[in-house]
Amino acid sequence: MALTKSEWAALETKANELRRLCLDTTFWAGSGHIGGGLSCMDMLTILYYKYLNLSDDPNWEDRDRFVLSKGHAGIAWAPVLVSRGYNDYEQLKTFNLTGSMMGMHLDANKVKGVDASTGSLGHGISIALGMALAARVQKKDWWTYTILGDGECDEGQV
């Protein structure tokens, strides 16, 4: 389904806002995989602000699922999850610092809105496939989305 001009403009504005927040997060962390993060910000924005079926509750049973297989891009995904209201903005200021809930690879046990922890390249697509098959078996209507990185397409099951 095509975007209207106003939807396109709003998503472009949101993506630019999230890119700035990603850059701030990288500054606060003192490091980060900024290239990998920025390379998928438009996709994250359109998924989280247009296509994913979500609610204010990140654990809503009938939500769509998302797996960031290129886990190094967590520095971009964390600001998206914060902007959706799932996590506190102040957590971004401690991204990847000792004791932070938000590490370089976002942990599903620590960060709200993360459906699967990733980090080892090449296994996110398998996790996403398992989630999609689970939806089919359970006769659920939710969809599963994933973003792969170019480097991981030479590793793991990919």
Per-residue pLDDT, 154: 83
* Calpha distance 12→34 (Å, rounded): 19
Question: At the topology level of CATH, where does 7-152 sit?
Answer: Rossmann fold (3.40.50)
pTM of the model as a whole: 0.94
Sequence spans of domains, the chain: 7-152
Handedness of CA 39, 112, 132, 15 (dihedral sign): negative
Section 118-128 average pLDDT: 87
Per-residue pLDDT, 136: 97
